[in-house]
Each structure stands twice: as structure tokens, then as C-alpha cells.
Amino acid sequence: DGGITQSPKYLFRKEGQNVTLSCEQNLNHDAMYWYRQDPGQGLRLIYYSQIVNDFQKGDIAEGYSVSREKKESFPLTVTSAQKNPTAFYLCASSRTEVNTGELFFGEGSRLTVL
């Protein structure tokens, strides 16, 4: 089955530690995205990538970093510079040929900073 796989599902981190969230897709989509979801705030775009080896900052990129070395993979690193990292992180992908607005989401990774 085609889809997006995020891991880990739950993650606990001590303050000052970097953590990397994995996102893999087998939908053959060119574009991939990372969103953050907080209660009452909806989804906010962290980073997005339209093609391999290229990515752009979204609305809340500070304290995060990404890489796009393979079409299938778009890992997100939450660095110690992120002031409030506890959140639900969602990875998504989409086709680039048509702007239908359809993003395919993974099941999310919940990060808790202790």
C-alpha cells in the first residue's frame, strides 16, 4: 500500500537535545512538507521541499532543520534552539503537476520535551 510512514510515533526528549523525526513516502510524490500542530492553532508549515536537494522555510522554521537527499525521504531535526518543541508533527507529500491542494499525511509523531 502506498503511503507516508512517520517514525517514531511517540518521542520524549530532554531539554537541550536534538531529535530527528523520520518521514518516508512511497507515493512517488515530488513535494514533501512538515507541519506542526498545536491545540487551537491548526497546522503550521515548518519546511517544504518541491524537489530533491532543495527545500524552503515555511512559516515557523526557526529551531528546525531538514534535508532532502532522496525523493522518498524528508527527515526533520528539532534542534535545541527550538524554544517550545512539544507538539504533534505531521509529514505530508503531494504531486506537483496539479495544484489540487491534496496533501497526503502520515500518522504523525508526538514529541514531548521533559
Partner 1 sequence: QKEVEQDPGPLSVPEGAIVSLNCTYSNSAFQYFMWYRQYSRKGPELLMYTYSSGNKEDGRFTAQVDKSSKYISLFIRDSQPSDSATYLCAMSASDSWGKLQFGAGTQVVVTP
The answer to whether 9 and 107 have CB atoms below 8 angstroms apart is yes
106 lines the binding site for partner 1 (CB under 8 A) = yes
58 lines the binding site for partner 1 (CB under 8 A) = yes
Q: Would you say how long the chain is, in residues?
A: 114
Integer Cα distance of 1 and 4 in angstroms: 10
SS3 113: strand
Question: Which grid cell sits at 49?
Answer: 521541499
108 lines the binding site for partner 1 (CB under 8 A) = yes
Stretch that binds partner 1, among 14-22, 32-40, 64-72, 78-86 (CB under 8 A): 32-40
**Which of 48, 22, 26 shows the shortest CA–CA distance to 35?**
48
Which residue, 58 or 75, is less far from partner 1 as judged by CB?
A: 58
Q: How far is the CB of 19 from partner 1 (least distance, A)?
A: 19
Binding residues for partner 1 (CB under 8 A): 4, 31, 33, 35, 40-45, 48, 50, 58, 90, 92, 94, 96, 99-103, 105-108, 110
